[in-house]
Structure 1
Amino acid sequence: MDILSLLPQFGGLIWTLLAFVVALSVIVAIHEYGHYIVGRWTGIKADVFSLGFGPVLWSRPDKHGTRWQIAALPFGGYVKFAGDANAASGKDEAAMAAVADDPEAKRHTMHGAPLWARTLTVAAGPVFNFALSIIIFFAVALTVGVARDPLTVGEMRPLPNAAQGLQSGDEIAGINGVTTPSMDDEEAYNAFIEGIPQQQVLNYDVVRDGTALSVDGPYLLPPLVNQVVPQSAAYQAGLKSGDVVTGVDGEPIFAFQQLKTAVEASDGKALQLNVWRAGESLEFTMIPKSTDEPQPDGSFVKNLRIGIAGGMAFEAATTAPGLGEALWGGVANTWRIIDGSLSGLKQMIVGNISTCNLSGPVGIAQTSGAMASQGAQSFIYFIAVLSTAVGLLNLFPIPALDGGHLVFYAYEAVAGKPPSDGALRVLMTVGVSLVLMLMVFALGNDLFCP
């Protein structure tokens, strides 16, 4: 065996693992810091803040008596509060017995603190995950900006054999005689885009340096690869951002819709794609995959896809949004992920979509590496999406997760007393078993789903 031939795969594996560890470490650190800092604010003492599990590689105590540590297995973390027996916040009977006659010391334990303090401390982990997502989306919006209105050419993308009458700074007043609507009117703008005739050369009415002109330009939505979906047919075949598909099974194309139509009509059979990449002509073979796609009404529709996102023939010029607009966009994006995740879970439970949509650690690691390879912005955006998913998962009412503890606290608020220690032990065992079963099931999806 040629050992050198394994180096690219080995390098790819290392890159994937590194990206996964970085993404997970950031998300876990934020989640656990939420528990820690709110616990401290509400008077609950933290004994240990650990990033990772297993043997301790580094540790340092702080002035508050908390030992901060990094452990050898970087696939999670925990905060162990005073009175906890373990990372899952099970009660340490001996520790609680030792402070039973000391109200002040008992008040600073997780199990002796008031109900409101425990509730805020437990809820803080998921809330900090959501806050991280909002902050990332907010920062991306401020950094990248939003498309300028009216639609304005930022920079032309390199396209093969394209009419290049457009220039940077041109304001698109109309296309083929149809006036461009404001992008604030999403419905009208989408209708305008869909109504553009499929012609390889379009006539653009533009305003250039204050002068109205009519120029020829490329079809607005060419078969351009703007982004590749991780683990998709296109990703596995080797398509890259910036590629332009010029033909499918020998038939030339110039519009993204033509590529989409060909993929949907493939009946899952292999497609031969001619691709232009920075002046070089390449050929790729790929088999479209059935994909469950969410609809506006919350339902899902199966479609054949190769896993690419398209874009316009030019990069739209952007403008910086206001702080309020950017913040609202961050909140809206985070809510959209939560809503889509809950809708997808519901559809999986009722059997409308495949359970293969549920990824496990291998799938998440592969996606981490794929997004990191597409640039820092894509990777940071992925961290925001994953942070929301982790926060939502932890709110599920499963014992051992934050949501399970919140259910116990809700019971305590109604009944006036917490569940018995015996009942808690049984429920926690059931919860841990459910979490392990879910992890095994998701791992099976990673290994056996197409």
Structure 2
Amino acid sequence: MDLSSLLPSFQSGALTIVAFVVALSVIVAIHEYGHYIVGRWSGIHAEVFSLGFGPVLFSRVDKRGTKWQLAAIPLGGYVRFKGDANAASAGADDDVMTALSDEELRSTMHGAPLWARTATVAAGPLFNFALSIFIFTAVVLSQGVVGDKLIVGALRDLPTSDYALQQGDIVLGINGVELPSGEDANASRAFQDGLPKTSVLDYLVERDGDEITVTGPHFYPPYVSQVAPQSAAFASGLKEGDVITGVNGQAIHAFSELKSAVEGSDGATLALDVWRAGTVNAMDLTPKRVDEPLPEGGFHTQWRIGIGGGFAFEPATEAAGLGTALSVAVARTGDIIEGSISGLYHMITGAISSCNLSGPIGIAQVSGAMASQGSADFIRFIAVLSTAIGLLNLFPIPVLDGGHLVFYAYEAVARRKPNEKVTRVLMTLGLLIIVSLMTFGLTNDLFCP
């Protein structure tokens, strides 16, 4: 056996592990820091802040008496507050609590006022959402936003290069049809679908204050702008920047032609002609069934190969203000939350496949795939995963933050804490639920197509 042939697989596996550990560590650190800092502000003392579980690799104690440690198993973390029986704050250490004075009890999680405990527990998920909003805001500020006018930015590298469209042109219309507003999704879709399926089109543009007609590539060519992880395209080696010029021996010039071929394949393998940096290569792809969210809510199932398209050029952007960037970031985070809740609901009702729920292996694979596509994609993935983990922790399952908040809500209404024996039983039940969900996700990772 040629050992050098194993090197790419080893490198890919190493990247997957490293990317997963980095992503999870960042998200967990932010989550636990939320618990820690709000607890500190609320007068609750943290004895241990641990990133990871198991044997301690490194530790130091700060001036406030909190032990900060890095543990050997990088699959989570915890903050143990004064008086906690365990890392999950599932109960109080009776031996410790009985030896404390009233003043000392106030600095424990179990002796603090209800408002302080509630704020401390809720802070973890909220810090996850804040991390997502921060990342999305930074992305918008760095990349800018497309203005009201569609201005040609960088031209993409396409097979057809004999055209007069130039960077800086303001696109007004194509083939005699006025360009619709970018805010009208239905009109934009109809405009793109109505364009001739040819490699070159006539563009009406504004250049140097004059309106002129110039030739340009198809407005929406079969260009690969992004490749989804765990997709047929990713598995087959398609890359960003590829252009699919043919399907099953039939030449195509528009992304809509590729989309129609994939959706009409009924899962049959497609023979693609892929143009990459001036060379055309043959590639076989077998579309996968994918459950996709609909704009109006719900899902529909369709055949997909897992690529995104785009214009024949990069639209020029303009600087975004902080308010605009923040608004976009909050909206994106909200969309992730809404989509996650909708997806879970439709899985429970059987409307979509339960294979949409990934376990640790699936998340690790996506981490590696996004890291392999560049730091920008990986950072955006961290934002998405941070929102998902924050939302998961808010589910009303004992052991999770959401379960604790339910107990606190009961305490607020009943004016007394839940029965300790009942709480322990519910905590055990919650742990079983979490283990079952993890096992189910792991099974999906191993056996779902």
- TM-score using structure 2 length: 0.98
Distance in 2, matches of 1:256 and 1:87, equals 52
| Deviation by residue 1:352-375 (Cα, 9 ceiling, x = unmatched) | 000000011101001001001111
Higher mean Cα deviation, 48-57 or 194-203? 194-203
Counterparts of 1:226-237 in structure 2 under 5 Å?
226-237=225-236
The aligned residue for residue 403 of structure 2 is 404
Task: Check conservation: 2:182, 2:188, Cα contact below 8 A.
Answer: yes
The aligned residue for residue 98 of structure 1 is 99
| Deviation by residue 1:102-137 (Cα, 9 ceiling, x = unmatched) | 111000000000000000000000000001101111
Higher mean Cα deviation, 348-357 or 181-190? 181-190
The aligned residue for residue 36 of structure 1 is 36
The aligned residue for residue 79 of structure 1 is 79
Shift of 1:207: 1.1
Distance in 2, matches of 1:282 and 1:130, equals 43
Shift of 1:156: 0.7
Distance in 1, matches of 2:21 and 2:289, equals 30
Residues 1:49 and 2:70 are matched in the alignment: no
Task: Check conservation: 1:228, 1:240, Cα contact below 8 A.
Answer: yes
Distance in 1, matches of 2:5 and 2:162, equals 43
Distance in 1, matches of 2:410 and 2:274, equals 61
The aligned residue for residue 323 of structure 1 is 322
Shift of 1:299: 1.3
The aligned residue for residue 252 of structure 1 is 251
The aligned residue for residue 335 of structure 2 is 336
Task: Check conservation: 2:163, 2:200, Cα contact below 8 A.
Answer: no
Distance in 1, matches of 2:33 and 2:153, equals 41
Distance in 2, matches of 1:2 and 1:84, equals 55
2:96 corresponds to which letter in structure 1?
A
Task: Check conservation: 2:291, 2:302, Cα contact below 8 A.
Answer: yes
Distance in 2, matches of 1:186 and 1:128, equals 33
Shift of 1:188: 4.2
The aligned residue for residue 155 of structure 1 is 154
Distance in 1, matches of 2:417 and 2:2, equals 63
| Deviation by residue 1:231-282 (Cα, 9 ceiling, x = unmatched) | 1001000000000001011111011110011111111111110000001111
2:93 corresponds to which letter in structure 1?
D
| Deviation by residue 1:389-439 (Cα, 9 ceiling, x = unmatched) | 000000000000000000000010011111111111111111111101100
1:382 corresponds to which letter in structure 2?
F
Q: Secondary structure, in 3 states, of the residue corresponding to 2:229?
A: coil
Shift of 1:190: 4.3
Q: Secondary structure, in 3 states, of the residue corresponding to 2:54?
A: strand
| Deviation by residue 1:278-311 (Cα, 9 ceiling, x = unmatched) | 0111111111000001112221111000000011
Shift of 1:187: 4.9
2:33 corresponds to which letter in structure 1?
Y
Distance in 1, matches of 2:329 and 2:314, equals 22
Q: Secondary structure, in 3 states, of the residue corresponding to 2:159?
A: coil
The count of residues paired between Structure 1 and Structure 2 equals 448
Higher mean Cα deviation, 73-82 or 85-94? 85-94
Q: Secondary structure, in 3 states, of the residue corresponding to 1:48?
A: strand
1:92 corresponds to which letter in structure 2?
D
| Deviation by residue 1:52-105 (Cα, 9 ceiling, x = unmatched) | 000001101111110001100111000000011111102211111111xx1110
The aligned residue for residue 3 of structure 1 is 3
Counterparts of 1:302-321 in structure 2 under 5 Å?
302-321=301-320
1:8 corresponds to which letter in structure 2?
P
Distance in 2, matches of 1:188 and 1:248, equals 28
Task: Check conservation: 1:150, 1:183, Cα contact below 8 A.
Answer: no
1:79 corresponds to which letter in structure 2?
V
| Deviation by residue 1:27-51 (Cα, 9 ceiling, x = unmatched) | 0000000000000000000000000
Structure 2: gaps (5+ residues): none
Q: Secondary structure, in 3 states, of the residue corresponding to 2:224?
A: coil
Task: Check conservation: 1:248, 1:271, Cα contact below 8 A.
Answer: yes
Shift of 1:322: 1.7
2:396 corresponds to which letter in structure 1?
P
Counterparts of 1:135-214 in structure 2 under 5 Å?
135-214=134-213
The aligned residue for residue 58 of structure 1 is 58
Distance change in 2, residues 1:183/1:196 (3 Å) = same
Distance in 1, matches of 2:193 and 2:131, equals 35
2:399 corresponds to which letter in structure 1?
A
Higher mean Cα deviation, 160-169 or 81-90? 160-169
The aligned residue for residue 275 of structure 2 is 276
Task: Check conservation: 2:39, 2:116, Cα contact below 8 A.
Answer: yes
The aligned residue for residue 423 of structure 2 is 424
| Deviation by residue 1:198-252 (Cα, 9 ceiling, x = unmatched) | 3332110111122221101111111111000001001000000000001011111
- TM-score using structure 1 length: 0.98
Shift of 1:182: 3.6
| Deviation by residue 1:290-340 (Cα, 9 ceiling, x = unmatched) | 000111222111100000001111111111112111101000000000000
Task: Check conservation: 1:228, 1:308, Cα contact below 8 A.
Answer: yes
Task: Check conservation: 1:148, 1:316, Cα contact below 8 A.
Answer: no
Distance in 2, matches of 1:124 and 1:108, equals 17
Distance in 2, matches of 1:327 and 1:193, equals 30
Distance in 2, matches of 1:418 and 1:194, equals 61
Give the % identical residues: 63
The aligned residue for residue 20 of structure 1 is 20
Shift of 1:186: 4.7
